[in-house]
Amino acid sequence: MNNPMKTNTSYMIKFGGILGGVSVIFALMLFTLDMHYGQEPLVNYVNYAISIGVIVLGIYTFRKDNEGFLSLSQAIKLGLGISLISAIIALVYTGLLMNVIEPTYMETVSELTKSKIIDENPEMTQEQLNAALDMMEKFQGFGVIAGFILIFSLFFGFLTSLVAGLILKKARPE
């Protein structure tokens, strides 16, 4: 059998690249349809389904290629690795979106968020609105956004790989 670390790494890179690539293609599709500002629940569900599908496929393929054996720790490592690679790809895309493709992206998001806050809270005072907008601005830098993307991707990858690992695990006989 191959070196497990090399094998794990190759699956992480392969399926992380697939997940990152599909996610970027999906994001570009949303961009061309001018849907990249909205937070429609269906868009989020499709993103989650893509992520779950690719992570589970990566873990399943690893198990199949390793004589049907898989430990829970291998599944979690694979899921986290796949999530990390795809998050790095997503960060590159996000950086390009915010700085090259649409440099006014964050300003547009701010305006849309401000309108949404005002629509949902018409009784809000100007002081409260300013406080909410100041708080929102603190979370709009690329570093903060990158941190959120990375943390959320790893957390989601951990949960997905934990469940997949519990379902797919099969110990080698002693």
Q: Which residues contact 31 (CB under 8 A, 6 or more apart)?
A: 97, 101, 102
Contacts of 149 (CB under 8 A, 6+ apart): 87, 90, 91, 94
- pLDDT category at 1 given cuts 50, 70, 90 is very low
CA–CA separation, 174 vs 162, rounded Å? 24
Taking 80 as the threshold, does the pLDDT of residue 172 lie above it?
A: yes
Tell whether 100 is covered by a domain: yes
Per-residue pLDDT, averaged over 140-165, amounts to: 94
The pLDDT score that the predictor gives to residue 150 is 97
Residue 5 scores a pLDDT above 60: no
Q: How confident is the model at residue 120 (pLDDT cuts 50, 70, 90)?
A: confident
In a domain, 11, yes or no: yes
Q: Per the domain annotation, does 173 fall within a domain?
A: no
Q: Give this prediction's pTM.
A: 0.86
Q: What is the mean pLDDT of residues 11-23?
A: 98
Task: Show Cβ contacts of residue 32 under 8 Å, excluding neighbours closer than 6 positions.
Answer: none
> Which whole number is the average pLDDT over 35-53?
89
For residue 100, what is the DSSP state? I
Q: What is the DSSP letter of 98?
A: I
The confidence band for 134, taking pLDDT boundaries of 50, 70 and 90, is confident
Q: Give the CA dihedral 159, 161, 167, 170, nearest 10 degrees.
A: -140
**pLDDT (tens digit per residue) in 90-105:** 999 999 998 999 888 8
Lowest mean pLDDT among 8-22, 118-132, 156-170: 118-132
Q: Is the dihedral of CA 155, 162, 79, 30 positive or negative?
A: negative
Cα separation, 91 vs 171, in Å, equals 36
**Full residue range of the structural domain in which residue 130 is found:** 4-168
Minimum mean pLDDT among 11-20, 52-61, 131-140: which range? 131-140
Contact 162, 168 (CB under 8 A): no
Give the mean pLDDT of 50-79. Answer: 96
Mean pLDDT of the chain: 90
- The residue that leads in pLDDT, 129 or 5, is 129
Q: What are phi and psi of 70, to 5 degrees?
A: -160, 130
For the chain, what is the domain count?
1
Question: In the chain, how long is the greatest CA-to-CA distance?
Answer: 69
